Homo-oligomer: A and B are copies of this chain.
Amino acid sequence: MQAVGIVVEYNPFHNGHLHHVKEAKRTTRSEIAVAVMSGQFLQRGEPALVDKWHRTKMALASGVDLVIELPYVFSTAQATGFASGAVQLLEAIQCTTLAFGSEQGSIEPFLNSYHLIENNRVHYNEIIKENIQLGKSYPQALFSAYEQLKQLFPNAYIDLAQPNNILGFHYVEAIKRLQCTMQPATIQRIAAGYHDSINVDSEIASATGIRQALFSGQSLQQIFQYLPDGTIGQLEHWQTEHRNFASWESFWPLLKYAILRHTPQQLKQYADVSEGLENSLVKYAAASSSYTAFMNALKSKRYTWTRLQRMLTHIYTGVTKEQLHAYSNPRYIRILGMTNSGQQYVSRIKKSLSLPLISRVAAVEDPLLAIDLRATQMYQLGIQQFSDKKIDEDYKTPPIRY
């Protein structure tokens, strides 16, 4: 029983994801697809549209056999930390391959780019230094050092200006650095032209596009063609239960309260609050009546939207810099859900696992898990808009069986 690992957010699961899962299984000849999926808060520093259980069900309905949770400290980290956490979990659950999406669908350029930097680390760091002295920002300096190295050793490399390639690069880097048994592979993204049973023109939309449609008030009927049935069912169920999809806009009253409960000095205990941002946070939170107004006031050339949102995520959940950086490796494998095949796979490997397997969290005490439980409570408080429901879903929800 061979397993292929994929790293996902499924916000929400759409036809492009469906294609990726199928192709990952087919091209790697795996019977099992294991998804390591972000919990309630995502890498762009946002609450997920619907919670991790609804997203798990979408995945299990569409070809994923086992969903394990990427803990908060990795799911909200920058690319390096995000990739490292995900890779370690997929290696721990004994996947043979990690299959990520890319535009060109070939793994060699990723390996070439990795070796280019790794083999010329000293030189690379020198060029970065020079670039910074020339006044470039750190990301600019990195990119430009990479471009210079490429010219010294001509070969087929990836374009690191593309966000998907950056993540792929970090998966490859993590696999190599951690000396994983698991091998990297890449699946050509369907938006780039390749397709199986899906009509690209009429059946593929990005998750971003789908979220925009939902938040602009379009009904599920209007976007059903982009979504597998399993996703439609879960989104309908969520709407019935919660009316609104989760967004920073609906979490704003609590986020505003959280910010204003601190002095600027106190806000510095959270990751990424630095360089005077603490004063702007307090000033603009008091004056803003919506999240959009707040972000527009806060945004400047200096910071990316994503960096600001990750900072706000940590303020919202109350996870401090110290907590966030206390552990840099996964400490457990938490199963969010599985199909019958997924369960068979788990039964087969569970005695030889290097990390403890968690299916019910109530009995486990672990500092990383405690952060996930709190993230879920904070997510539920944001979603419930102060209904009187109990917020103990993480305690009472066993792995989903599909």
The smallest beta-carbon distance between A358 and chain B, in angstroms, is 19
Indicate with 1 or 0, residue by residue over A258-294, a CB within 8 angstroms of chain B CB atoms. 1011110010000000000000000000110110000
Q: Is there a chain B Cβ closer than 8 Å to A378's Cβ?
A: yes
Q: Is there a chain B Cβ closer than 8 Å to A253's Cβ?
A: yes
Quick check: A390 and B260 within 8 Å, CB to CB? no
Chain A 130-160 interface residues, beta-carbon cutoff 8 Å to B:
none
Q: Is there a chain B Cβ closer than 8 Å to A381's Cβ?
A: yes
Residue of B nearest to A315 (CB): B261
Contact of A254 among B254, B318, B377, B390 (CB under 8 A): B254
Q: Is there a chain B Cβ closer than 8 Å to A236's Cβ?
A: no
Contact of A290 among B253, B374, B388 (CB under 8 A): B388
Q: Is there a chain B Cβ closer than 8 Å to A391's Cβ?
A: yes
Q: Tell me the count of chain A residues lying within 8 A, CB to CB, of chain B.
A: 29
Q: Which residues of B contact A320 (CB under 8 A)?
A: 266
Number of copies: 2
Knowing A317-B261, A318-B262 are in contact, say whether A256-B381 is a contact too (CB < 8 A). yes
The smallest beta-carbon distance between A209 and chain B, in angstroms, is 29
Q: How far is the CA of A390 from the CA of B283 in the complex (A)?
A: 12
Q: Is there a chain B Cβ closer than 8 Å to A392's Cβ?
A: yes
The smallest beta-carbon distance between A257 and chain B, in angstroms, is 5
Q: Which residues of B contact A262 (CB under 8 A)?
A: 318
Residue of B nearest to A318 (CB): B261
Contact of A390 among B287, B317, B392 (CB under 8 A): B287
Q: Is there a chain B Cβ closer than 8 Å to A389's Cβ?
A: yes
Indicate with 1 or 0, residue by residue over A306-321, a CB within 8 angstroms of chain B CB atoms. 0000000000011010
The smallest beta-carbon distance between A252 and chain B, in angstroms, is 8
The smallest beta-carbon distance between A294 and chain B, in angstroms, is 12
Residue of B nearest to A293 (CB): B388
Contact of A378 among B260, B323, B389 (CB under 8 A): B260
Residue of B nearest to A395 (CB): B286
Quick check: A388 and B260 within 8 Å, CB to CB? no
Q: Which residues of B contact A353 (CB under 8 A)?
A: none
Q: Is there a chain B Cβ closer than 8 Å to A303's Cβ?
A: no
Quick check: B392 and A286 within 8 Å, CB to CB? yes
Q: How far is the CA of A43 from the CA of B295 in the complex (A)?
A: 38
Q: Which residues of B contact A263 (CB under 8 A)?
A: 323, 370, 374
The smallest beta-carbon distance between A332 and chain B, in angstroms, is 18
Quick check: B391 and A286 within 8 Å, CB to CB? yes
Q: Which residues of B contact A390 (CB under 8 A)?
A: 286-287, 289
The smallest beta-carbon distance between A366 and chain B, in angstroms, is 13
Q: Which residues of B contact A253 (CB under 8 A)?
A: 381, 386
Contact of A392 among B257, B287, B290 (CB under 8 A): B287
Q: Which residues of B contact A391 (CB under 8 A)?
A: 260, 286
Indicate with 1 or 0, residue by residue over A377-402, a CB within 8 angstroms of chain B CB atoms. 11001000010111110000000000
Q: Which residues of B contact A370 (CB under 8 A)?
A: 263
Q: Which residues of B contact A323 (CB under 8 A)?
A: 263
Assuming A253-B386, A261-B318, A261-B374, what are 14 further A-B pairs, CB within 8 angstroms?
A253-B381, A254-B254, A256-B381, A257-B258, A257-B381, A260-B377, A260-B378, A260-B391, A261-B317, A261-B378, A266-B320, A286-B392, A289-B388, A290-B388
Which positions in A face B, CB cutoff 8 Å? 253-254, 256-258, 260-263, 266, 286-287, 289-290, 317-318, 320, 323, 370, 374, 377-378, 381, 386, 388-392
